[in-house]
Structure 1
Amino acid sequence: MHTSQPSLPANCTLRRASSGDRGAIFRLVLGAKLDPTQLRWQQFWVIECEGQVVACGQLRQFADAQELGSLVVAPEWRDRGLGTLLTQHLIHQASHPLYLECLGTRLAQFYRRFGFVPVSWQELPRSLKFKFGLSHFAKIILRIPVEIMTLSSQ
């Protein structure tokens, strides 16, 4: 179910983040209105184009699972396949069952292309129940369209 591998634009590289990327990662995550409290640059991969970080994503490690999170492409670099490339790379880097949470149906559709499927909060590994507990509450009580997903081909 994985999509074909796009190629990086000229003058772009996909690499592990370094400590010097912390500010760029923080700005991308804040600009996308994502939660900036769980950012550890050591868990990130970045795409650098023309000398600047234009996309980032992380694999957060839990006791018995990993979370694909904080995936952001700078607005001026969108629609060039960078999000797809980075998602595929993070999936291939995962060494444990992979989960994510996303807000809205558009993002859920994006991740379905890679084989992610919705999963109920009850089915989550124990290490993720606390992490995704607030999202589950928001979905049930406040009717916020949050989707918790897992990679189905694991």
Structure 2
Amino acid sequence: MNQSNLSLLSGCILRKATSADKWSIRLMVFSAKLDPTQLNWQQFWVIECDCNLVACGQLRNFSGAQELGSLVVASTWRGRGLGTLLTQHLINTATQPLYLECLGERLAQFYSRFGFVPISFEDLPQFPKTSGLSTLKSKFRFSQLAKKLLRVPVVFMEHRGNS
């Protein structure tokens, strides 16, 4: 994926989230049935169209890694490339090895377009904790338990570069 090929729709802007976006972000994530924990608005980027928040996503910081998470595009705005643009922007913004977890093969295929590859839970990094940051593996442990016990179709993925 090359970001130069992507452009926002007329009337839309990509920007860092502000404190005024906090409740809109929470509502979008909650309505998409995504993990409602660790929603730190300071880590979010948003797409605003005609003064409405229509997409959001965050880069969560962990010890030695980052997670692309909480990526949501409002249902009425899907299919217009906003998720693609926001995903590529978050990848370009990442400063550490990047991981994500998603539900199902359809989302795994979406992320594979950006150079993410499926990995096992055992292959997730287990960096030592630093400066109060938890490890990515400890955050994904609950998802691994749900995958094993409840057969939830969780896919763990690592970014290995654009194909």
Partner of residue 139, structure 1: 147
User: Whole-Å Cα distance in 1 between the matches of residues 138 and 61 of structure 2?
Assistant: 14
5 Å-filtered alignment, 1:20-59, equals 20-59=20-59
Size of the alignment, in residue pairs? 153
Measured after TM superposition, the shift of residue 141 of structure 1 is 2.3
Secondary structure of 2:59's counterpart equals strand
Deviations 1:32-72 (A, max 9, x none): 01111110000000000000110000000011000000000
Deviations 1:76-120 (A, max 9, x none): 111000000000000000000000000111111110110100111
* Structure 2 gaps, min length 5: 127-134
User: Whole-Å Cα distance in 1 between the matches of residues 115 and 34 of structure 2?
Assistant: 23
Q: Counterpart of 1:149 in structure 2: which amino acid?
A: M
Measured after TM superposition, the shift of residue 6 of structure 1 is 2.0
Calculate the TM-score normalised by the size of structure 1. Answer: 0.95
Partner of residue 111, structure 2: 111
Task: Give the conservation status (yes or no) of the 8 Å contact 1:3–1:114.
Answer: no
Secondary structure of 1:135's counterpart equals helix
Partner of residue 138, structure 2: 130
Task: Give the conservation status (yes or no) of the 8 Å contact 2:114–2:161.
Answer: no
The percentage of counterpart residues that share the same residue type is: 62
User: Whole-Å Cα distance in 2 between the matches of residues 46 and 18 of structure 1?
Assistant: 9
Secondary structure of 1:54's counterpart equals strand
User: Deviating runs (4+, > 3 A) in structure 1?
Assistant: none
